[in-house]
Every structure is written in structure tokens, then in C-alpha cells.
Structure 1
Amino acid sequence: MSNFNQERLMQVLVAPQISEKATMVADANEQVVFIVLPDATKPEVKAAVELMFKVQVKSVQISNLKGKVKRFGRTMGRRSDVKKAFVCLMPGQEINFVEGGAA
């Protein structure tokens, strides 16, 4: 973890992906889905998750999602590309995103 720049690691994870599919993946495979920077690497994602959430990561799979072409009124537009990281945690580890929310 020491061979990465601390500031860079704090920026690698953009947001957690919270959706029905991501929840199913989390329940079935002990995985958590994050949206990451387009130039993020697997070792960087692993180090960033371990640093920010204090958990042990078993493995990381990365998927590049191409942006859809959509219509905005009469003009054609394109959604931006997204890179997702599927982080597999060691057994017994978990990340809870809903701590301290409104009751």
C-alpha cells in the first residue's frame, strides 16, 4: 500500500454503485461495486478500498461500461463512459454504506 500516492488513492473511488443488480452481486458473491476513475488500475482500487474502509480485499475485477447514445430533444447525445470495479472482500469482511442515516 505504501507504493501508491495517498492523495491519488483518496480520489480513485468515485462512488459506490447502489442498485438492484449491485445488491444481488453483493449478497451472492461477497462483492461490493464501485465506480472508479477511468485510468484506475486493479492494485490502485485494492489499495484505495483497504485504506478508506479498513477491510481486507481478496480480489478486484474491473469492467468498462461504454456510454449509451441517447436523444436529448432533437439532438443526439452520448452518456459518458464509466469504469466499474467489483471488489471481492475476504470472508467475514463487510462495508456498510447506510450507517448513521436518517431514521
Structure 2
Amino acid sequence: MKNPLLRPWLTEKSTGLTEKKGQYVFKVKLDADKTDIKKAIEEKFGVVVKSVRTVNCLGKSKRQFTRKGVLQGKKSDWKKAIVTLAKDQSIDYYSGSTQKGEG
């Protein structure tokens, strides 16, 4: 599989996990498994991954009320990975080596 990582998932809760427990949260592809995620993070950021936990998140149902009736739809399902790093290791999301659009 190509790179299963889509982007870091930055919320208040994920930032708290990073500060307290050294865990980082990423949005990943639905078909990604834990070993692929571990390899991708170790290669991309040069860190040692201790463990990976994954969560399948269901997309929200949406309704829009219009003059012609009710339009119903659903957002896409997605998956997130909670990655625990080895002690004294960290990931810098904003370092120049991992940003796109250089040069």
C-alpha cells in the first residue's frame, strides 16, 4: 500500500493526548492496517512507534429541507489512528521536511 496517512488530526482532545501521553492522532485511509500505519510514520518522521490503535468513524447523516422536499445524504466514513511513540520521542507536524509545496 502507498502512504496510508492522510493528515494529522488536530483537535483539543488530540493535542491533550500529545501533551500528556505522547500520543499522536492521524486521519488514515479506510483500508490501512496497523502495520502499514506504523511503517509509514517511522519512515516519514524518523521515530520509533510503540503502538498503534485505530478507530473506524461513521460519517454523519445530513438532511436539508428545501421547498421541493427533504434532501438526505451522508458524509463519508473515515478512520483515525492513535499512535504512541517510544519515550522521549516527538513529531513536529510543522517541520520543513514534511511540508508540501517546497521549491
* Class of the TM-score when normalised by the shorter of the 2 chains: 0.7 to 0.9
Of residues 10, 14, 25 in structure 2, which corresponds to 1:33? Answer: 25
- Report what 1:21 is aligned to: 13
Say if 2:60 is the partner of 1:64: no
Unaligned runs of 5+ in 2: none
Aligned residues: 93
Match among 51, 64, 75 for residue 71 of structure 2: 75
SS of residue paired to 2:20: helix
Matched, 1:91 2:87: yes
Shift in Å at residue 72 of structure 1?
A: 3.6
- Distance, in Å, in 2 between the alignment partners of 1:96 and 1:38 is 24
In 1, Cα distance between equivalents of 2:20 and 2:78: 23
5+ residue gaps, structure 1, are 1-7
Report the Cα distance in structure 2 between the residues aligned to 1:20 and 1:72, rounded to whole angstroms. Answer: 29
Which residue in the other structure is 1:3 paired with?
none
Secondary structure (helix, strand or coil) at the match of 2:63 reads strand
Q: Which protein is bigger by CA-based radius of gyration?
A: 2
* Counterpart Cα distance in 1 of 2:94 and 2:78: 24
Percent same amino acid among aligned pairs?
40
TM-superposition CA deviations, 1:6-51 (whole Å, max 9, x none)? xx34x21011101111101111211000011101111110000001
TM-score, with structure 2 as normaliser: 0.82
Q: Extract structure 1 runs of 4+ deviating beyond 3 A.
A: none
